[in-house]
Chains A and B, each alone.
Chain A
Amino acid sequence: MSSDGSSNGSSNGSPTLTLDGKVVPFETGETLYEVARRHTSDVPTLCYDERLEAFGACRLCVVEIEGFRSPVASCTTHAAHGMNVQTKTEKLEKHRKTLMELVCSENPRGVEIDPMRGHASQEMTDLAQRYAVDGTRFEGAQSGQSHPDDPNPMILRDYDHCISCYRCVRVCAEQEGDYAISIANRGFQTQITTEFNGFLKGSECTFCGQCVQTCPTGALADNRALQHTREPGEVELTRSICPFCGVGCSVDIMSKGDKLVGVRPAMDGPANEGALCVKGQFGWEWVQHPERLKNPMVRKDGVLVEASWDEALDRAAEGFRRVRDTHGRHAIYGVASGRAPHESAFSVQKFIRAGFGTNQIDNCSRA
């Protein structure tokens, strides 16, 4: 119990430890993994997602601490003042290679994964390359049963690639709060499941896609983006804000040429930290839908026809005026769109209050 939170400060206040021979400061409560990552050492991991509680499944992040009998998982070990920590000894690298050989052996196809599958989908592939592991050593039975039959157009459940890191289950519980998926069975028979091993659409799943974006193997994949895999061109990412609502989730828009091929949550988005909802994540196809409205339309003799903005706005103003003149100012009720940011919502209420003299103003997100 020697390291249990005993991170007393050094004489000048901030506690320090020795990391690969260098004395570095840390803040009380930080884990060794956090300290190591801040100081550029590239400790590998597959089960870690900084937004989630450290779990300690993959054991790749093990480090040696002087005085400890065995290596410890740096993600679940708190830094303590005076610790002498090694992150990259020959022994550790050998354990890491063996771990990678083991995990690739249950998943040999996992070394080539379409990056369209999701944000984190290359983590396993990258580490396999770093440790020069191809999945042939330690050959044996494969774990995980795919659900290619899950009838939803958004999330591909390709558990042949699953390595049981449980990031999906944890993000669903800890970030999304939906508890839609869980862990069935145990040991090598472990399987990601929904209630009674059913389809996602019959579960509590809201199709937010967070499990897809945290999956380090692409076992969970963005099926919408995958439809565009064969199209020519490189995927380009453009940082933007999701237009659906006022929360302002940061997204990385995926495009090939001038074609939108997918949306990814920005892990560093200040409002969303990697989260999106089903609309922001999967509801982008309208952007290039052939029936998308591109000009204002007005009804003439019962038929909608294209019009200029001036004509359309005049027509709208005329409508408002008519209603006010015939039914009085309280016949007007303004509902700001939930997609409107603050400033626009403010303008709407101003328009209704100052323009018509009524307080009947609301927002569609109120429900």
Chain B
Amino acid sequence: MAHINPSGDQELIERWRDQPASLLPLLHAFHDRDGYLSDDALRAVASGLRIPIADLYGTVTFYHHFARVKGGKARPRVCDGPVCKLQGCDELIVGLDGATAMPCAGRCDGPIPVLQDDEVLIGTQPGALTAAPPLVPPPNPGGIDECVFAEVRDPRRKTLAGYRESGGYRALSRAVREMTPEQVLDVVSGSGLTGRGGASFPTALKWRAVREAGGGPKTVVCNADEGEPGCFQDRVLMDLDPHAILEGMTLAAFATGATRGFIYLRYEYPATQGVLETAIEEARAAELLGTSVLGTELTFDIHVRRGAGAYICGEETSLLNSLEGKHPFPRNRPPYPVTNGFEGTPTAVNNVETLASVPPIVDRGAEWYAGLGAGEHKGTKIISLSGDVARPGNYEVPIGIPLKTVLYDWAGGAPEGRTVQAVTMAGLSGGFLGAEDIEEATLDEPSMRARGSLLGAGGVMVFDDSRDMVEIARQAMSFFAHESCGKCFPCRIGTQRLTERLAGVAGPKEPELWKAEVEDIGRTMAAVSACGLGVAAPGITGSLMRLFPEQVDAHVNGQRK
């Protein structure tokens, strides 16, 4: 037999061809081997997986992080998210040889992250970048009972042994040995747990729909794409508590009847992939995953799939297309993933935080979790707090707690000598809240929706009174324009036009006409866009015009400071 180069094209193709969701890992294998994706590599992948070459070429160009020129993968990518802008990322990009910008990379609570090959460095000065440590949340400032953060500060929690010591896998072993799937569904339903990834859909309802759907094999997907600027809670959970996510997914599998699982991990978290894969290996070795979980009839395994840089791939149907190797446009719904998900099979797509909440809920009971909420609200939510705030970081809060309690009492409010001008909600997807709302709002969906906003994935970015809100809005809109998938007209063109108007490079020079244009575009985007990105984006301009009309007028009149 001819000698085979251990990482020759054919080897790589054979390694992945028959694996589930094979396109992304195969592309990464070539990308890692060569430091970019060459034409030859794409041709080899196309013929190896029998994908039309034009389709593959188009799909590869969709992703921000696949380099198409030699040496491209090693070039530094500097986060230019809204908070890193405040920290001077633009100078860092200029100062770093060959550096380019990347959208928010999910470390808004520390120095600017720089992705270089498969390493994340942090810093603000070109010569002084250091390795990025996992960030451990501070003890709960409210002294409040937590769910997902209760044990994460213990460094042993990351290993299987440590996880088990603090009660890990107790819920799973009880579920598979003593409970029926129906009983698990009842507990999750009673807890009031809703999706923490943005849409707040009741988790048990989703799982029941998958359980009752015909056909299979059924699938559980953990959505770890965390692309929303200002959100960095899923990263912390995965880095510090990987087994909680695996256990949550396995409980989901037990409840829904799913046999295969995927974790769709964003490209920007390279170290996290290793953490998850190590945990999966530990779990397989301990029969917590595999063909007979804990000696029972439950069969379930988990595969990690790394994304390649596309916020829209956090949208669940776009994510499924990406996993399947298709062009990652969102799908038309119905049908929904619960009946027609991964490769058309019934699929539960759940967020990291949602899944990590499940083991403690099954372990400690529905009433316990429901009781963690404030007032009539149930449960907790992690809030990622960043920007002009004394103590940025992740805080697990009772749902329904006043925003100002978290912002001022827990996180210390604006820096010395400054006041809070505005905060964003749901990362960017909830638009801005101004001083009045900050005073009155509570952290729950009804309160946020009443203010035209969203709690969503829980990212809150703070901007003090020195900030130019039109410029902040421009950055936000240019993020949405950069990430618009291009499938539908209102968002593809609308995000571009709104960005141009906020940048002052196009559009009327008369405030009333300017506002009429921006309002008309926003209204149509919000009403008829094909997915949540285009629906949410005009929340930025809408709230900007409502809260800061003088700044908008000054901008249009060319009188900005």
Cα A59 to Cα B482 in complex, Å, equals 21
Contacts known (A183-B327, A187-B483, A187-B485); A140 close to B52, Cβ less than 8 A:
no
Q: Measured between C-beta atoms, what is the minimum distance from B505 to chain A in Å?
A: 8
B-contact bits for A92-116, CB 8 A (1 contact / 0 none): 0011001101110110000000000
A76, B57: Cβ atoms under 8 Å? no
Interface membership of B493, Cβ < 8 A: yes
Cα A299 to Cα B132 in complex, Å, equals 88
Interface membership of A186, Cβ < 8 A: yes
Q: Name the residue on B nearest A95 (C-beta).
A: B524
Residues of B within 8 A of A3 (CB): 334
Q: Which of B332, B496, B526, B535 meets A187, CB within 8 Å?
A: B496
Q: Measured between C-beta atoms, what is the minimum distance from B538 to chain A in Å?
A: 12
Most buried by A among B55, B58, B339: B58
A-contact bits for B369-406, CB 8 A (1 contact / 0 none): 00000000000000000000000000000000000000
A141, B496: Cβ atoms under 8 Å? yes
Interface membership of A27, Cβ < 8 A: no
Q: Measured between C-beta atoms, what is the minimum distance from A347 to chain B in Å?
A: 42
A59, B334: Cβ atoms under 8 Å? no
Contacts known (A56-B332, A187-B496); A139 close to B507, Cβ less than 8 A:
yes
Q: Measured between C-beta atoms, what is the minimum distance from B102 to chain A in Å?
A: 15
B485, A194: Cβ atoms under 8 Å? no
Contacts known (A3-B334, A139-B507); A98 close to B520, Cβ less than 8 A:
yes
B336, A1: Cβ atoms under 8 Å? yes
Q: Which of B52, B339, B488 meets A58, CB within 8 Å?
A: B488
Q: Name the residue on A nearest B310 (C-beta).
A: A186
B489, A58: Cβ atoms under 8 Å? yes
Q: Measured between C-beta atoms, what is the minimum distance from A144 to chain B in Å?
A: 11
B489, A99: Cβ atoms under 8 Å? yes
B-contact bits for A59-71, CB 8 A (1 contact / 0 none): 1101000000011
Interface membership of A321, Cβ < 8 A: no
Residues of B within 8 A of A5 (CB): 334-335
A-contact bits for B13-34, CB 8 A (1 contact / 0 none): 0000000000000000000000
A140, B500: Cβ atoms under 8 Å? yes
B334, A187: Cβ atoms under 8 Å? no
Residues of A within 8 A of B483 (CB): 186-187
What's the A-B contact tally at a CB cutoff of 8 Å?
160
A105, B493: Cβ atoms under 8 Å? yes
Residues of A within 8 A of B520 (CB): 98, 101
A59, B530: Cβ atoms under 8 Å? yes
Q: Which of A73, A95, A103, A138 meets B530, CB within 8 Å?
A: A73
Q: Name the residue on A nearest B517 (C-beta).
A: A138
Residues of A within 8 A of B526 (CB): 70
A188, B332: Cβ atoms under 8 Å? no
Q: Name the residue on A nearest B513 (C-beta).
A: A137
Residues of B within 8 A of A99 (CB): 489-490, 524, 528
A102, B489: Cβ atoms under 8 Å? yes
Residues of A within 8 A of B489 (CB): 46, 57-60, 99, 102-103, 163-164
Cα A194 to Cα B58 in complex, Å, equals 8
Closest 5 CB pairs of A and B: A179-B52, A182-B58, A187-B484, A190-B486, A76-B332
Given A182-B55, A193-B57, A193-B61, list of 16 further CB < 8 A pairs?
A1-B334, A5-B334, A58-B488, A62-B527, A70-B535, A71-B528, A95-B524, A102-B494, A173-B55, A183-B62, A185-B61, A187-B484, A187-B485, A187-B496, A188-B495, A193-B58
Q: CB within 8 Å of B: which residues of A? A: 1, 3-5, 46, 54-60, 62, 70-71, 73, 76, 78, 94-95, 98-99, 101-103, 105-106, 137-141, 143, 163-164, 173, 179-190, 193-197, 203-204
A-B contact pairs, 12 of them (CB 8 A): A4-B334, A56-B530, A57-B487, A59-B489, A59-B529, A70-B528, A94-B524, A102-B494, A141-B506, A179-B55, A186-B483, A189-B486
